[in-house]
Amino acid sequence: MGEAAEGRGRGKLILFGEHAVVHGYAAVACGLPLGAVACVRRGHSESFRVDHPAGSFEAEGKVLEAARGIVARFGLRLEELDGFVRLEVPVGAGMGSSAALAVALARAAQKLSGRGDAQTVEEAVSFAEGLFHGKASGIDQSAALGGGVFAFKRDGAGGPPTIEPVRAPTLRLVVAQVAPSASTAEMVASVSALAERRSSTAAIFEAIGQVATEGRQALEAGDLQAVGELMNINQGLLAALGVSIPAIDEACRLARDAGASGVKLTGAGGGGCVVALGPDEATTRAIQEGWEVRGWPVYTFTLES
């Protein structure tokens, strides 16, 4: 059977700036302590299993193709490996599960093979994310590889994005998946269609971009109350873009009633997850409990600076 190699990749949350980021404005995101763990050893397997919070599946289609391509970059063939990936974040819920999976598997493959470097890992992940998402923004990949809080801005000329680490205070985050996730591509397309119809949409992107910039400053100043207030403002602006839904609105209300510093949808909207910032341990627990009563899967994260 030989020695097993393990690799980890992080999930991600967007704290500020989704949708506007597509139009060239800065966003703020973070890598999560949870994400994906890949475990592989040399052997033989007919299939490659992915466990996730809601169940388990055998990789097929794009996932299988991505896994094959990732390990091939380290001179390995998936059929000559025995292993699995365990996802700690929900699949397709705007928490970067696919990038976490790709990073975890690439790192495990690198360790097992003793070949390739950080650059090879990045290339393998880019390849996989391209398969999963077409033209991916790169936010998920940055979070999955590096973790921490960071500011992200697309290069208008189509070059690589600007990624800058953001020094943040300890963040107590509670995340709930309040509805099935909408397709990110479809939500981005729906916002683009709105922007075509309504010229005022450009001013909303501008406002979201400014909120993200202020959010970064508030994080760097360690002002959690300001961070929360700006999350609330960001949520209103996302609602103005039409990507909030009743379940998201309800989750926001419940979290605010429980004392959240701020709460917003995270990701493309139309479904998926909300993220709340708790001012302290007790309030964070109250937010969590309020959401769990509604039957939503809830994840809590403490991001240490």
Kindly identify the residues of this chain, within the stretch 182-211, that bind its own copies according to CB under 8 A: 197-204, 206-207, 209-211
Q: Is 226 in the site for its own copies (CB under 8 A)?
A: yes
Q: Is 61 in the site for its own copies (CB under 8 A)?
A: no
Q: Is 260 in the site for its own copies (CB under 8 A)?
A: no
- CA 14-213-177 angle, to 5 degrees, is 20
Active site residue 140: yes
Kindly identify the residues of this chain, within the stretch 236-255, that bind its own copies according to CB under 8 A: 236-242, 244, 246, 249, 253
Write down the catalytic residue from 51, 82, 117, 140.
Answer: 140
For residue 40, the cross-strand partners are 5, 83
Q: b or e along 68-79 (b: 16 or more beta carbons within 10 Å of the residue's beta carbon)?
A: ebbbebbebebe
Count of chain residues binding its own copies (CB under 8 A): 33
Which CB sits closer to its own copies, 119 or 199?
199
Q: How far is CA 94 from CA 83, 129, 269, 273, in A?
A: 25, 14, 8, 7
Q: Around 147, how many Cα atoms within 13 Å sit in the side-chain half-sphere?
A: 14
Return the amino acid letter for 161: P
Please state the closest distance from residue 188 (CB atom) to its own copies, in A: 18
Find the binder of its own copies among 233, 251, 265, 287 (CB under 8 A).
233
CA dihedral of residues 240, 241, 243, 245 (deg, nearest 10): 20
Tell me which residues touch its own copies (CB under 8 A).
197-204, 206-207, 209-211, 213-214, 226, 229-230, 232-242, 244, 246, 249, 253
List, by residue number, the catalytic residues: 140
